[in-house]
A and B are shown apart, each in its own frame.
Chain A
Amino acid sequence: NAGVTQTPKFRILKIGQSMTLQCAQDMNHNYMYWYRQDPGMGLKLIYYSVGAGITDKGEVPNGYNVSRSTTEDFPLRLELAAPSQTSVYFCASSPTVHEQYFGPGTRLTVT
């Protein structure tokens, strides 16, 4: 039972490049979330999903896109990377809206 896995662990992007952050969970959770954490700040919700085929925006969705074609996977897409997207990204899943299980994070730097 791997829980929530995220790839890659680290990535450096140039301004304007695109990339997809991968997230997978093997706990059959309906709810999945993407957060970003900036230094000295709490976690800000980017997008979330309540089940396969259903996604919705969180607090800071601009510059990102998501899809949820299966229960297990919830990739986050950055289309045109900007320095403001330098952050640590966490994916989480939960069986209910409450206790969320987090992945180890992806540290992204945009230069």
Chain B
Amino acid sequence: DQQVKQNSPSLSVQEGRISILNCDYTNSMFDYFLWYKKYPAEGPTFLISISSIKDKNEDGRFTVFLNKSAKHLSLHIVPSQPGDSAVYFCAGIGGATNKLIFGTGTLLAVQP
């Protein structure tokens, strides 16, 4: 059972434009969500998070939106830069478990 789904394996965006990465979840007990960024041959690094009591969290060029009724969250990167090219994972946590559940990732390519 895939509790966190990232249905787009890849996304290509022009430099300077907006990148929108999507994530859907099925577990209604999740109360906290995180986005991680991963470059090849490196471990994931934490990017931004959001609590379920909020619907938006912003950090510089990165904004995460949460729609609880749709069980959907998205990561917006504006403006996109070539250095943003990486795999992005969303993850949820909450309920009886204190374990992060990760999606399968979206490979973002920002074209110069």
Contact = CB atoms under 8 A, between A and B. Distances in A.
- Asked if A and B bind, the verdict is yes
Interface of A: 4, 40-45, 48, 50, 58-59, 90, 92, 97-105
Interface residues of B, number: 21
Interface string B86-112: 000100010000111011110000000
A105 B43 contact: yes
Given A42-B4, A42-B89, A105-B43, 20 more contacts: A4-B43, A40-B104, A41-B104, A42-B105, A43-B89, A43-B102, A44-B102, A45-B100, A58-B99, A97-B93, A97-B98, A97-B99, A97-B100, A98-B49, A100-B100, A102-B44, A102-B45, A104-B42, A105-B41, A105-B42
Contacts of A42: 4, 89, 102-105
